[in-house]
């Protein structure tokens, strides 16, 4: 930057860099270290990786926690359950979000600003409260069942809460704005004359959409999908509040392992595998986030 | 506009359905916070009874104070770190470790909270046994919140700097202004919308965080989301409805205020740039004006 010396530059870059290295990158290494330790009763509840007990340094690492993850199919089912729920939520967000983003991009002036404000407002309101709001609607004696009963459509309350349906609904509801904004971003810069050219050349609207609009908005689709998929895979609040006994998602398994079983090494191993699974999507998502910044 | 596109009724339909889905649960929650009855399905008349009960709830009040303290400290720290980080990435195209730095700045935006929470807790536990600091509680929650808050602030600052006309800075330097004066009189006021919204965003993110705080806290500190969560786990409670309504009202006022302030600042900047007779703005159009060219599309 103009007019600042090497020292200023060192502080400017160094301060946030050191902070992030210390409080984001370094902790991930500690998780890896503790995933190789054994669980013990004590404070802290795991064995040290390097001991000096036998005189001289001794490395005590075990892969037992990872062996447990591989052998107990609870973990595999939880990882797969998370992937399935998150992938379905991503697809539904895309289906619901695309028409909304499209409609916003075709709105003009201050009305468009207002609609964007409405999409962004949920970012600012409490995630916990927004998930909680669904409990009153979905529970057996809740609003939706009362409404359907009053209409005479049902006589016995439908099981809407604490099952796969409510978890999926919660995921779609919570992450929809994360899909709409990147979609809007790529739709709003779309050159409309391309669509019109396709129409002039005789393409029907559906054909012009599939052949022109959709491919040109692929970056927005990819960015939105990753912004929904990645956090949804590790989601804890939604499966905990809206899920039931048969809801298996890895974020909740991790939480229970840590807070209820107090097995820190296994919780760390679950995290290591989760980071490994998410590493590629996170790096790809970053490319999109960066490109969006540059644009 | 044209007839080739999906018609206006379809677009309006998509908007109405979409926003009903996004807002109906919140509206219902606010509505039922004024219900005299404990049951959601029974409307027993308008009452502010639950707001009274909420005020008497000591646990919620103590947790709210803790949360506000943490959020104010974390947002301020986020603002400083995030602004420095945003400047670094926007203004220096190469320095050692820039790629890693960029990764560490963006990854916390998408990494699941359970990962951030567990990894930070393990760091704090290890550090406490090595150097005796920090003891878990308000300090550790603040550090954790400042870390992801800084990432959000840096994104906003970076975006604003990308649209900032550096010719103005150069002109000031050419006219003999010292770098510090340029920073405080030109650059920082120029990106003030990002600074205001960044602080507010970091503040609300901190106020809202349940997962990370649950991991890194100790027995001494309970934040508001933690108190709400343990109460919600036992079922729907009208007091939580009242609390949620107050929270929504607060956020709505703050965000509207910020949006209004930013719109005003932007308008002023536009007019002052247009009034500048200097070659500064004519040599190349100010980026802000270029960006906003879309109403003419």
Interface test with B, best of A33, A111, A113, A124 (most B CBs within 10 A): A124
Query: Cβ of A256 under 8 Å from any chain B Cβ?
Result: no
Distance of alpha carbon B67 from the chain centroid: 15
Q: Which residues pair with B46 in a beta bridge?
A: B35
Give the pLDDT confidence score for residue A248 in this predicted structure: 92
Give the pLDDT confidence score for residue A14 in this predicted structure: 93
Cβ distance A117 to B126 less than 8 Å, yes or no, reads no
Among positive and negative, which fits the CA dihedral A231, A236, A241, A245? positive
In tens, the pLDDT along A57-71 reads 777 788 999 999 999
Decide if pLDDT at A210 tops 70: yes
Give the pLDDT confidence score for residue B4 in this predicted structure: 42
Counting the structural domains of chain A, the total is 1
Domain boundaries, chain B: 12-47, 57-275
**Averaged pLDDT for residues A104-110:** 88
Give the pLDDT confidence score for residue A137 in this predicted structure: 92
Decide if pLDDT at A211 tops 90: no
Taking CB atoms and an 8 Å cutoff, what residues of chain A touch B28?
Answer: 133, 136-137, 143
CA dihedral B190, B192, B195, B197 (to 10 degrees): -120
Within a domain: A48: no
Give the pLDDT confidence score for residue B3 in this predicted structure: 41
Pairwise CA distance, residues A97 & B72, whole Å: 34
- Whether A64 contacts A38, CB under 8 Å: yes
Pairwise CA distance, residues B148 & B151, whole Å: 5
Query: Cβ of B55 under 8 Å from any chain A Cβ?
Result: no
CATH of the domain at A82: 1.10.3720.10
Crossing angle of helices A6-20 and B98-110, rounded to 10°:
40
- Based on the number of CB atoms within 10 Å of its own CB, is B177 exposed (0-12), middle (13-18) or buried (19 or more)? middle
Pairwise CA distance, residues B40 & B32, whole Å: 7
Pairwise CA distance, residues B37 & B30, whole Å: 14
Closest CA to A236 of B143, B246, B225, B24: B225
In chain B, which among 136-165 make CB contacts under 8 A with chain A?
143-144, 147, 150-151, 154-155, 158-159, 162
Give the pLDDT confidence score for residue A200 in this predicted structure: 86
Token look-up 């040109």 returns A216
| Run of H or E including B35 | none
Query: Cβ of B3 under 8 Å from any chain A Cβ?
Result: no
**Per the structure block, which two tokens stand in for B172?**
């000031």
Give the pLDDT confidence score for residue A213 in this predicted structure: 86
**Per the structure block, which two tokens stand in for B8?**
């206006």
CATH 3.30.450.40 fits B57-275, yes or no: no
Give the pLDDT confidence score for residue B294 in this predicted structure: 41
Taking CB atoms and an 8 Å cutoff, what residues of chain B touch A179?
Answer: none
Q: Give pLDDT < 70 ranges for chain B.
A: 1-6, 269, 272-297
Give the pLDDT confidence score for residue B276 in this predicted structure: 53
Token look-up 């609904």 returns A169
Query: Cβ of A264 under 8 Å from any chain B Cβ?
Result: yes
Crossing angle of helices B224-232 and B238-275, rounded to 10°:
140
- Whether B227 contacts B60, CB under 8 Å: yes
Give the pLDDT confidence score for residue A246 in this predicted structure: 85
In tens, the pLDDT along A113-169 reads 889 989 988 878 888 999 999 998 999 888 899 899 999 898 888 999 999 999 999
Cβ distance A23 to B111 less than 8 Å, yes or no, reads no
Pairwise CA distance, residues B275 & B289, whole Å: 14
Its pTM stands at: 0.88
Give the pLDDT confidence score for residue B163 in this predicted structure: 81
Give the pLDDT confidence score for residue A2 in this predicted structure: 53
Within a domain: A35: no
Give the pLDDT confidence score for residue B260 in this predicted structure: 82
Cβ distance B150 to A124 less than 8 Å, yes or no, reads no
Query: Cβ of A47 under 8 Å from any chain B Cβ?
Result: no
Note the ipTM here.
Answer: 0.90
| Run of H or E including B39 | none
Pairwise CA distance, residues A187 & B53, whole Å: 48
């Amino acid at each position: 930057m103009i007019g600042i010396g090497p020292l200023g530059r060192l502080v400017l870059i160094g301060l946030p860099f050191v902070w992030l290295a210390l409080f984001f990158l370094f902790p991930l290494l500690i998780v890896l270290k503790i995933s190789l330790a054994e669980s013990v009763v004590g404070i802290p509840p795991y064995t040290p990786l390097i001991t000096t007990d036998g005189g001289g340094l001794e490395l005590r690492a075990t892969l037992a926690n990872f062996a447990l993850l591989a052998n107990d199919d609870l973990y595999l089912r939880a990882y797969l359950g998370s992937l399935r729920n998150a992938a379905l939520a991503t697809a539904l967000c895309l289906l619901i979000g695309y028409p909304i983003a499209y409609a916003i991009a075709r709105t003009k002036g201050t009305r468009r600003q207002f609609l964007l404000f409405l999409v962004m407002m949920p970012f600012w309101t409490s995630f916990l409260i927004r998930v909680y709001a669904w409990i009153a609607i979905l529970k057996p004696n809740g609003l939706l069942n009362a409404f359907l009963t009053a209409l005479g459509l049902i006589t016995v309350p439908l099981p809407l809460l604490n099952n796969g349906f409510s978890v999926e609904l919660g995921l779609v509801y919570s992450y929809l704005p994360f899909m709409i904004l990147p979609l809007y971003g790529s739709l709003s810069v779309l050159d409309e004359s391309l669509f019109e050219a396709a129409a002039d050349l005789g393409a029907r609207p559906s054909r012009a959409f599939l052949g022109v609009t959709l491919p040109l908005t692929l970056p927005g689709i990819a960015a939105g999908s990753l912004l929904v998929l990645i956090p949804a895979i590790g989601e804890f609040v939604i499966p905990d509040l809206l899920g039931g006994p048969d809801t298996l998602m890895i974020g909740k398994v991790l939480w229970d392992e840590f807070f209820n079983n107090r097995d820190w090494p296994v919780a760390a191993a679950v995290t290591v595998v989760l980071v490994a699974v998410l590493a590629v999507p996170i790096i790809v998502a970053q490319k999109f986030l960066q490109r969006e910044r540059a644009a | 506009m044209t007839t080739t596109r999906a018609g206006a009724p379809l677009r309006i339909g998509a908007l109405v359905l979409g926003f009903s889905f996004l807002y109906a649960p919140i509206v219902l929650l606010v509505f039922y916070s004024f219900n005299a009855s404990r049951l959601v399905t029974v409307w027993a008349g308008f009452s502010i009874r639950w707001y009274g009960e909420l005020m008497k709830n000591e646990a919620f009040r103590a947790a709210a104070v803790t949360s506000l303290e943490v959020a104010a400290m974390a947002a301020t720290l986020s603002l400083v770190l995030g602004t420095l980080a945003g400047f670094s990435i926007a203004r220096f195209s190469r320095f050692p470790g820039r790629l890693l730095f960029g990764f560490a700045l963006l990854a916390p935006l998408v990494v699941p909270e359970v990962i951030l929470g567990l990894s930070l807790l393990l760091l704090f536990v290890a550090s406490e046994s090595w150097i005796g600091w920090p003891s878990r509680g308000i300090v550790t929650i603040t550090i954790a919140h400042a870390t992801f808050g800084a990432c959000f602030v840096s994104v906003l600052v970076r975006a604003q700097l990308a649209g900032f006309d550096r010719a103005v800075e150069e002109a000031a330097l050419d006219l003999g202004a010292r770098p510090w004066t340029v920073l405080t009189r030109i650059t920082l006021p120029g990106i003030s919308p990002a600074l205001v919204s960044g602080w507010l965003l970091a503040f609300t993110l901190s106020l809202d965080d349940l997962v990370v705080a649950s991991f890194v806290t100790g027995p001494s500190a309970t934040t508001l989301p933690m108190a709400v969560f343990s109460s919600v786990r036992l079922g729907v409670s009208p007091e939580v409805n009242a609390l949620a309504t107050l929270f929504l009202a607060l956020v709505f006022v703050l965000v509207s205020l910020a949006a209004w302030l930013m719109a005003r600042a932007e308008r002023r900047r536009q007019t002052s740039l247009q009034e500048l007779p200097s070659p500064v703005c004519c040599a190349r159009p100010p980026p802000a004006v270029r960006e906003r060219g879309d109403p003419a599309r």
